[in-house]
Amino acid sequence: MKMYGHCDGASFPRLLPLLLALVSAALTAQVFDQEAEAKEDERRETGVVEPTALMQVMEGTQHTLTWYSSLPSVANVTATVEDEVVAAVVEVGEVLPGAPTDNFTYYGNITISALFIGYNKLHLSLYDDRHLVVWERAVDISVVLSYQHLADLFTLLVGILIIVFYINMGATINLEVVKNIITRPVGPVVGLICQYLFMPLIAFGVGWLTFPENPLGQLGFFLAGCCPGGGASNLWTHLLGGSLDLSVMMTFVSSVLAFVMVPMWVLLLGRVIMREVQFVIPYWNIAGLVLSLSIPCCLGILIQRFFPRVAKGLRCLLTPLALIVIIFTFTFGVYANRYVFSLFDVKSLAAGLALPSLGYLCGMALASMLRLPRRDTIAISIETGIQNLGVAIVILRITLEKPAGDLTSALPAAVVVMTPLPLLTALIIYRIYLCCHSDKPTEPQLSATKAEESNQTESKKQEESRDSVLNHQATHSGGVDNPAIDLKEEAV
């Protein structure tokens, strides 16, 4: 029986040349690979660029790189950048021969101009007399902001305005309402559920759908959704007629819980987005946030307690001060951080609008389902959608080196820009409604009228009850105003 695959001694000599040819081809390919690697190493060793990289150079500045080569022939040199928005090649110098005492044969200069924040690469190539590339090198470039002092000044001035605003809020807070909130903390609990459960999940989902191939973008957007409530929520709550007491209470509690919730979400989902980044949670910055919120507010409460006339004047300044903070943010704040607008695109702006809008709807829906009062529903809705995105920006800038931190911060900045748009629309509609119904009593007036009517009704009931008791006593005691008693006495 014939066995397939069997190799007898007679067929082996015929296979031997084929085996030798295969071995020879493999050895030849290996030799070619080694020669190619040797040539590549030689090309690397025959040239150098100084400095080897341009990292964290300031935009608006120019820098010169010098290349040196020990090749026997260098006729021409070219230099190009990958992104001409970040940096540009200003000048490529001529190929100059080295001195006899130098350890290089040719050298030349390349002038680079840093234009805008970001990362870039410079590709340098040397050519011989036959126009063949004999040496090439890539130089890393990163550009940082040139007007960082303006952003720092804006942060300082906004901090001062927020402190003054919180003093005014402390002087306006109704302490009896705060006591009721503490005894029945339904509103704060609902707000915290929306703030620290729904918002991080919404941000993770929106970031994953919007930036599927940009982990840094997903990271910045996710951290924006993990932030505690922002002070601007108190401003908008006051302007839109929500419960300011509940809003301040929710902002304070969410800022305290940020010590636990922000690190927890970073560890749970932040690692999924950026597995290789070592996160640094700025606990001291969060602690400063809590203190900056509580101390001015407590000072305002003390003014309300011991200086009621001063507190009355501060209440009148609350709305104008809120408008000043908003206008200042959208003027000087925009100018001081204008670089982020060059980084915005349709996707980032759409995502920046989606996150707070979904937060507003989420807070409103949950509060409405629980049948909370309208003022509480407004406060919970605004508190859910508005977040202190400075926490996310601080985390990104501490965790990532420049300019990666600044670039990633553009996503929280997009949320900052788009967050007020739904509220501004609601405020315009609300003001138009009030103007059209100016002849009707406003809500505070209605509340006062209802309270007065209630007091009058209660007084009337008490008077009727008192009269009834007197009549009853007169009946049983034979009072002079009882006609039946008089007739009975006459009959006797």
Q: What is the pLDDT of residues 209-231, one digit of tens each?
A: 988 877 878 888 888 898 888 76
Query: In terms of pLDDT, which residue wins out, 281 or 307?
Result: 307
What is the pLDDT averaged over residues 357-372?
91
Sign (positive or negative) of CA dihedral 355, 357, 360, 364? negative
Q: Band of the pLDDT at 63, cuts 50, 70, 90?
A: very high
Residue 113 pLDDT more than 90? yes
- pLDDT per position as a tens digit, 316-340: 887 787 778 778 877 887 788 788 8
* 367 vs 383: CA distance, rounded Å: 12
Domains of the chain (ranges; CATH) run 47-144 (2.60.40.10), 148-437 (1.20.1530.20)
Task: Give the 3-state secondary structure of residue 405.
Answer: helix
pLDDT at residue 30 greater than cutoff 80: no
Give the 3-state secondary structure of residue 387.
strand
What is the pLDDT confidence band of residue 180, given thresholds at 50, 70 and 90? confident
The one-character DSSP state at 229 is B
144 pLDDT higher than 60: yes
CA distance 181 to 252: 13
Calculate the alpha carbon distances from 368 to 22, 30, 364 in Å.
79, 74, 6
Is the model's pLDDT at 299 over the cut of 70?
Answer: yes
In this predicted structure, the answer to whether residue 244 has a pLDDT above a threshold of 50 is yes
In the chain, the percentage of residues whose pLDDT exceeds 90 is 19
What are the two backbone dihedrals, phi and then psi, of residue 144, each rounded to the nearest 5 degrees?
-115, 170
Contact between 429 and 436 (Cβ < 8 Å): no
Peptide bond into 200 cis (omega under 30): no
Low-confidence winner among 107-121, 206-220, 445-459, 476-490 (lowest mean pLDDT): 476-490
CA distance 105 to 392: 52
In this predicted structure, the answer to whether residue 354 has a pLDDT above a threshold of 90 is: yes
What is residue 478's predicted lDDT score, i.e. its pLDDT?
40
